[in-house]
Amino acid sequence: MPGSATLLALGANRLGIPVYGIVAGPGVGGLAIALAAQPTIENLIGGLILYADRPVRVGDFCQFGDKMGTVEAIGLRSVRLRGIDRTVITVPNAEFCQLQLVNFTRRDAILLNTKLQLRYETTPDQLRLVLARLRELLIKHPKVSPDPARVRFVQYGDSSLDLEIFAFVETRDFSEFLAIQEDLNLRIKDIVEASGSAFAFPSQTLYVERSHDLDADLTKAAETEVARWRSENRLPFPDYDEHTRTELSNTLDYPPEGSPGRPSSDRP
């Protein structure tokens, strides 16, 4: 029977009937359908991967590639996000799975990493006092994680003595982080000014005589305070001892006095 079918096909082909094209047609059509369906299948698989791995969920704020936004929906074909400019961004699942995803919502704290630049006229003991007071600030503040929380004199800059603050603020909400960062920045300014030092700015100085810009009384007070620490073997370098850290921990008032968030029992 198969031999008869073959002879029939050969005979029909010689008569001009395209038997081979008819037979091959369904196979070619199936291939074309498969190729057309490939993106749909890839997006479906991408959607299943997103549901299984859950790198992001609806409501998460994330960075995907070079864009940022909040996930509004995860479908079988695509992910829909609301960009920070309030536009709606739709990304196919297959493409979204290949992007580097940074999920900001799932962080357990927010990094505070800033550099302070003090004037070169700052004396060594003034610098020690500023470093000590800044370390106390991080230890005392109830919204700053104690580990790690460091302040270090890192380098001699082109026009400044550079200090680096590295700590984690214990909040997941960026708006709250900005409020805490503002509180810390205001306290940092108080500490620098109370030491008699000042913040530097890019400049070139021509010294004709000894500069008298820095407050002499505050400079003397800073040097006296550090001298007292030195005489009592209490210099906090390279760091505070554990006993002092325990005494200082979480003793700073936050929110500060006079702010709406402060408990009413603390108000006068």
Q: Could you report the per-residue pLDDT of 13-61, keeping only the tens digit for each?
A: 554 555 455 444 455 455 455 445 566 777 777 778 787 788 889 999 9
CA distance 145 to 140: 10
Is residue 267 helix, strand or coil? coil
Instruction: Provide mean pLDDT across the span 96-125.
Output: 92
CA distance 66 to 100: 9
Q: Check pLDDT > 80 for residue 213.
A: no
Q: How many residues does the chain have?
A: 268
Pull the structure tokens for residue 174.
Answer: 């960026």
Which segment of 24-33, 117-126, 152-161 scores lowest on mean pLDDT? Answer: 24-33
- DSSP, res 133: H
Give the pLDDT band (50/70/90) at residue 265: low
Single-letter code of the amino acid located at 34: A
CA distance 164 to 150: 8
Q: Check pLDDT > 70 for residue 234.
A: yes
Report which of residues 119 and 14 the model is more confident about.
Answer: 119
Torsion of CA 80, 82, 86, 91, to 10 degrees: -40
The residues, any chain, with a CB within 8 Å of residue 183's CB and separated by 6 or more, are 254, 255, 256
Half-sphere exposure of 129 (CA within 13 A, CB side): 24
- DSSP, res 145: E
**Domains of the chain, start order:** 55-103 (2.30.30.60), 110-203+213-251 (3.30.70.100)
Q: 91-106 burial, b if ≥16 CB within 10 A, otherwise e?
A: bbbbbbbebebebeee
Enumerate long-range contacts of 209-218, CB under 8 Å, 24 or more apart. Answer: 211/121, 213/121, 214/119, 214/121, 214/122, 218/194
Pull the structure tokens for residue 244.
Answer: 């002092």
Instruction: Provide mean pLDDT across the span 206-215.
Output: 63
Q: Check pLDDT > 80 for residue 188.
A: yes
Assign residue 18 a region (left: φ > 0; alpha: ψ between -120 and 50; beta: otherwise). Answer: beta
Percent pLDDT > 70 in the chain is: 78
Torsion of CA 245, 154, 108, 256, to 10 degrees: 60
Pull the structure tokens for residue 40.
Answer: 């749909």
Pull the structure tokens for residue 15.
Answer: 């008569």
Rg (CA), the chain: 34
Residue 90, strand partner residues = 80
Q: What is the pLDDT of residue 268?
A: 47
CA distance 40 to 47: 10
Q: What is the pLDDT of residue 243?
A: 86
CA distance 57 to 74: 8
Max Cα–Cα distance, the chain, nearest Å? 116
